[in-house]
Amino acid sequence: MHLLQQIIFVAIAALAIGLFTKKILQIRRNILLGKDEDLSDNSSKRWKNLLLLAFGQKKMFRNPLVAVMHFVIYAGFIIINIEILEIVLDGILGTHRLFFPYLGGAYTFIIDFFEILAVGVITVCIIFLARRNIIKLKRFISKDLNGWPRSDANYILIAEIILMTLFLTMNSTDRALQLQNAFGFHNTGNFLISGMIAPLFSHVSQHSLLIIERSCWWLHILGIFTFLNYLPYSKHLHIMLAFPNAYFTRLDVNGKFDNMPNVQNEVKYMMQPELAPAGDTAPQKFGAKDIFDLSWKNLLDAYSCTECGRCSAACPATQTGKLLSPRKIMMSTRDRLEAVGKNINTNGHFKDDGQTLLNNYITVEELRACTTCNACVVECPVSISPLDIIIELRRALVMEDSNAPQEWNTMFGNIENNFAPWKFSPDERDAWNNI
């Protein structure tokens, strides 16, 4: 019987890990569809960003209470899942609490710590569910989250509660079986939380306890495997991608626009034709119309978005009723990236689907509303920059499609003809001071 369980466990684990790996490799491929960008400089500062922003969640602590609650869930996810290593090894080897004989009292202390975190995770998840569905904080009821995104957040919180409850119930029934001297159950002593619950099972038969304990064990690990494969389809992928995203964050001053060599060269060749390369040159592209024109870092940003809405809550355009929402910019970019990925999966390569990120996923009105104030960039807890994507799309809109408001076109014409935004001759430059 044990051998059959081991075979079933190994088969399920292999399937879960295989499917997860396949999806992660597809996401990696999708990210690398973006243009190359070298972000390997200043490694010491990048490691510092990773430690402070990803591990330390530095930006979250602007709101200490929420930050502490989020840190409890974060620590619970990272630390409690160390316990999964033992469960996996038990499943493969057919053992029970494999590490206990080697760790002794330290084992009980470690599980005590895990149980405290489990109670903390359950408590915080209930509070976060209330904030989203009962208190209904403004940034959680935005139309950006209508449909799947809102459900996704609730599913994860509910799943965390279930997994932690299974963990505590498993430990409680395990301890109850120990007290009944059940065969194969090491006497670990009372765990801090489950040790108080175990006496409630004192009148339950050993057979029933064994069924409950094994059911919780299986449901817990199957829940973990399910969560593992749900993760790549969820906003909670940021649990993994926040770390590389923090490391590869751009180190320039916020708001610094990248130079456009193509434009610079066009002007230079116009002023000095002898410098222009001989022969026909390929037409240059300006800005970005689709995900292929963005950099891989922009696409990593899209997959790393937590959909927390702090960017949109800080955005003056969003708060004054404009169509723009930085959170929606990131969500739309990820949606387009996923659509392109599915296209490649189906056809073996990207087959033109008649759609682009610009216009089909993100509208002109959204892009025009941005004031480039950088509030969204400053507020993002995982170093995402919606502004970079907005700027690239606006560049394509203006320079590729000649689509700009009349006021802008007037200014552009004046700059082209008069070398200044105003409709005055450059010969009268001295008189400009009187404008």
Q: What is the pLDDT of residues 237-251, one digit of tens each?
A: 988 899 999 999 988
* Shared-domain flag, residues 430 and 380: yes
Q: Is residue 246 part of a domain?
A: no
DSSP sequence for 346-380? HHSS----S--IIIIIB-HHHHHT-----HHHHH-
96, burial (CB in 10 Å: exposed 0-12, middle 13-18, buried 19+): middle
Angstrom distances, CA of residue 205 to CA of 171, 202, 212, 348: 16, 8, 11, 58
Task: Answer yes or no: do 115 and 204 share one domain.
Answer: yes
**Whether residue 139 sits in one domain with residue 83:** yes
Which residues are bridge partners to 358 per DSSP? 362
How confident is the model over 173-191, as pLDDT tens digits?
Answer: 999 999 888 888 888 888 8
Same domain for 364 and 273, yes or no, is yes
Q: Tell me, yes or no, whether 178 and 72 share the same domain.
A: yes
Measured distance CA(388)–CA(294) in Å, rounded? 9
Q: What does pTM read for this prediction?
A: 0.86
| 52 occurs within a structural domain | no
In a domain, 254, yes or no: no
Residue 341: give the domain boundaries: 261-434
Residue 305 has a pLDDT of 93
**Domain annotation covers residue 38:** no
Whether 206 and 268 share a structural domain: no
| Residue entry with tokens 């992928």 | 237
Tell whether 272 and 369 lie within a shared domain.
yes
Per-residue pLDDT of the chain (435 residues; tens, 9 = 90+): 478 888 999 999 999 999 999 999 999 999 999 999 989 888 999 999 888 888 888 888 888 888 888 888 888 777 777 788 888 888 998 888 888 888 878 888 888 989 999 999 999 999 999 998 898 888 888 888 888 888 898 999 999 999 999 999 999 999 999 988 888 888 888 888 998 999 999 889 999 999 999 999 999 999 999 999 999 999 889 888 999 999 999 888 777 788 877 778 877 777 777 777 776 666 678 889 999 999 999 999 999 998 988 999 999 999 999 999 999 999 999 999 999 999 999 999 999 999 999 999 999 999 999 999 999 999 998 889 999 999 999 999 988 888 888 888 888 888 878 878 887 777 777 766 665
Total domains present in the chain: 2
Residues 6+ apart with CB under 8 A from 296: 31, 32, 33, 34, 35, 36, 37
Q: Pick the closest to residue 329 from 284, 365, 382 (CA basis).
A: 365
Identify whether residues 290 and 365 lie together within a single domain. Answer: yes
371 domain-assigned: yes
Question: Is residue 282 domain-shared with residue 400, that is, in the same domain?
Answer: yes
253 located within any domain? no
Residues 196 and 287 grouped into a single domain: no
Cα 40 from Cα 250, distance rounded (Å): 10
Instruction: Note the pLDDT of residue 294.
Output: 95
Pair 215, 359 in one domain: no
Q: Which one, of 416, 306, 326, lies nearest residue 371 by Cα? A: 326
Task: Report the pLDDT value the prediction gives residue 282, as an integer from 0 to 100.
Answer: 60
In whole angstroms, give the CA distance from residue 135 to residue 434: 56
249 domain-assigned: no
The verdict on residue 57 lying in a domain is: no
d(CA 23, CA 228) in angstroms, rounded, equals 11
- Please indicate, yes or no, whether residues 221 and 268 belong to a single structural domain of this protein: no
